[in-house]
Structure 1
Amino acid sequence: MKTSQTPQIYVGTYAKYNGSGHRNGSIAGEWVDLEIYDTKDSFFEYCKELHCDEDDAEFMFQDYENIPEKLISECSVSDKLFDYIEAIKDMEDETIEALGLFIEDKDINKDTDFEELMQEFSDEYQGYYDGSEGTEVEFAYKYIEEQGILNEMPEHLQYYFDYKAYANDLFINDFVEHDGHVFRR
């Protein structure tokens, strides 16, 4: 599924970039769509083919799009990158964006169980809110309705309920907002 959130990497080599060989100071490389690779090994096989003019190419990931920063650097890609790519295949753009934000707040390493991480994301992610009253207040309206908080209050008093103050309380202890995305703490 090709979305506007398709993970891509621009793959060059240090030798070309640094000017050794026949391409002095070149950024010759290619944007690589990562969704077509199942594993890190298959991706690196393609990178070797792409830069077959070098005997032992040292890959340089000069730019990237739609990849959480914790999963890539100039000289390496995380072992978890392809778990991430598999996880986002059937997600909407909005949820992919939220997962990227979620991953940035986590300690990701080679021992990270990605299935557990995805379960944690599923448990904590509350959705995207971009209402005219602001993310926190829009979330509070939905939360109050879902929890039936006003059901115990006489109807004539419900009109006086302060949604903004309640939203402030929710986001002090229980929830956090990042770029319109709400997560349970």
Structure 2
Amino acid sequence: MTSITFYSLYDYNCGNIFANTLNLDNFSTLEELDAALHDWLEELTENRNDGVTREEWILADCEDVPDQYINTYGINGEYFTYRDTIEELSNYHDDAENILNAWIAYGYELNLDEIKDAYIGHFYSIRSFAEEYLWEIMDLSSLPQHLQFYIDLERLAKDVLINDCWESNGYYFNRI
């Protein structure tokens, strides 16, 4: 469960902890989350009945939300796009979250079509990338057996990575 916990900022500053933990899976947009937080603060204001209007919150804790989507007062609205992209990408790949995180770590924007078109696969080393992927696409098996011995697969893979592909955390992608 992806969850996020907020405190009433006024009460937090006064030394009182009134927490509200929300399941992010129940929200589709940042606006829905904000509306739920406003409702909670209104209810808290009514229940406390101390003459103070509670209007602000502060992030206390979150679970299963990547750091780049978290700030002091909540989460970035792009988190919902991130979550939806993982869900869509999981229809095509079992390792959707890691693929998407590698894509983002390289600096690309969230775009499901680009990710699907560019993704090659996960390889544990540049040599395994060369042996499994390059060998197939370049059809090096058609070379005579005695010449295959002279192919420097790692050098070939490095050349391909410079010009045509890129790698992030063992996930390989075609350049877009």
Normalising by structure 2, report the TM-score.
0.72
Other-structure match for 1:10: 5
Rounded to whole Å, the distance in 1 between the matches of 2:69 and 2:154 is: 37
Amino-acid identity (%)? 24
2:8–2:56 contact (8 Å) kept in structure 1: yes
Shift in Å at residue 147 of structure 1? 0.6
Q: Does 1:164 align with 2:154?
A: yes
Rounded to whole Å, the distance in 1 between the matches of 2:99 and 2:8 is: 31
Other-structure match for 1:59: 57
* AA matched with 1:164: E
Other-structure match for 1:127: 121
Other-structure match for 2:100: 99
98 and 7 in structure 1: CA distance in 2 versus 1, 3 angstrom threshold:
farther
3-state SS of paired residue (1:61): strand
Shift in Å at residue 68 of structure 1? 4.1
Q: How does 1:76-155 map to 2 (within 5 A)?
A: 76-90=74-88, 91=90, 94-104=95-105, 105-106=107-108, 117-130=111-124, 134=125, 136-155=126-145
Bigger radius of gyration: 2
1:129–1:182 contact (8 Å) kept in structure 2: yes
Shift in Å at residue 150 of structure 1? 0.5
2:5–2:59 contact (8 Å) kept in structure 1: yes
3-state SS of paired residue (1:182): strand
Shift in Å at residue 154 of structure 1? 1.0
Other-structure match for 2:69: 71
Rounded to whole Å, the distance in 1 between the matches of 2:119 and 2:60 is: 31
Rounded to whole Å, the distance in 2 between the matches of 1:31 and 1:174 is: 46
Other-structure match for 2:174: 184
Other-structure match for 2:49: none
* AA matched with 1:118: L
- Listed as ranges, the gaps of 5+ residues in structure 1 are 1-5, 108-113
Other-structure match for 1:39: 29
- Listed as ranges, the gaps of 5+ residues in structure 2 are 46-52
156 and 82 in structure 1: CA distance in 2 versus 1, 3 angstrom threshold:
same
2:44–2:54 contact (8 Å) kept in structure 1: no
